[in-house]
């Protein structure tokens, strides 16, 4: 399994995977049926939507996990500047792993790689979008040293105590 930079050629595979993950979460929390949602609404969801995908690819901080030539995981991130009194912050927008490949350390490796890249680009802080009721995501972030509370963001100070380097 390889973690590599996301490329434009990944659009279809990553779009399908991100929508699968969004649908999974949606069906846990909403009463509406996914099939009943307007197509325009579904098209607007996620960082892989046609308006955002290129932006995240060009940022150079988005990655896919590839197994036998197939993208089985994705992470979307970008650098943000001059926010919260910080010059360079890495913002993690979304991530997901194909259900068949979960609990194999793929998300851990993708997030770790993304943080390393952010650090290389000068980030001193990482903010990652989370849902406080999403236990797998919360546990993943905590394992990498993020601070989480009731906010929909997990916080990692790259100048603070070092996150654990191995699983």
Ligand X SMILES: CC(C)(COP(=O)(O)OP(=O)(O)OC[C@H]1O[C@@H](n2cnc3c(N)ncnc32)[C@H](O)[C@@H]1OP(=O)(O)O)[C@@H](O)C(=O)NCCC(=O)NCCS
**Nearest in space to 73 (alpha carbons), one of 108, 39, 38, 49:** 108
Q: Which residue is nearest to ligand X (CB)?
A: 107
One of 14, 21, 126, 158 touching ligand X (CB under 6 A): 21
CA dist list (Å): 38 to 32, 33, 43, 128:
11, 11, 9, 28
Minimum CB distance to ligand X, residue 51 (Å): 20
CB proximity list for 27: less than 8 A, separation 6 or greater: 34
- Cβ proximity to ligand X: between 64 and 130 the closer is 130
> In the structure, how many helices (H) and strands (E) does the chain have?
5, 6
- Total residues interacting with ligand X, rule: CB under 6 A: 23
Q: Interface mask (CB under 6 A) for ligand X, residues 40-79, using x and -? A: ----------------------------------------
Between CA 156 and CA 112 the distance in angstroms is: 12
Between CA 72 and CA 76 the distance in angstroms is: 14
Within 83-142, the residues that bind ligand X by CB under 6 A are 94-97, 102-108, 130, 134-137, 139-140
Minimum CB distance to ligand X, residue 2 (Å): 14
Binding site for ligand X (CB under 6 A): 21, 24-25, 94-97, 102-108, 130, 134-137, 139-140, 143, 167
């Amino acid at each position: 399994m390889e973690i590599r930079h996301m490329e434009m050629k990944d659009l279809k595979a990553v779009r399908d995977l991100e929508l699968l993950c969004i649908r999974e979460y949606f069906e846990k929390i909403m009463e509406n049926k996914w099939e009943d949602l307007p197509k325009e609404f579904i098209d607007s969801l996620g960082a892989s939507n046609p308006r955002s995908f290129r932006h995240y690819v060009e940022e150079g901080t988005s990655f896919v996990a590839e197994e036998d030539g197939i993208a089985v995981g994705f992470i979307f991130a970008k650098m943000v500047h001059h926010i919260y009194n910080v010059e360079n912050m890495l913002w993690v927008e979304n991530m997901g792993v194909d259900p068949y490949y979960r609990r194999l350390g793929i998300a851990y490796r993708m997030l770790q790689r993304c943080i390393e890249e952010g650090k290389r680009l000068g980030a001193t802080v990482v903010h990652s979008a989370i849902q406080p009721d999403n236990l797998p995501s919360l546990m993943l972030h905590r394992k990498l040293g993020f601070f989480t509370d009731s906010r929909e963001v997990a916080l990692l100070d790259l100048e603070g105590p070092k996150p654990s380097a191995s699983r």
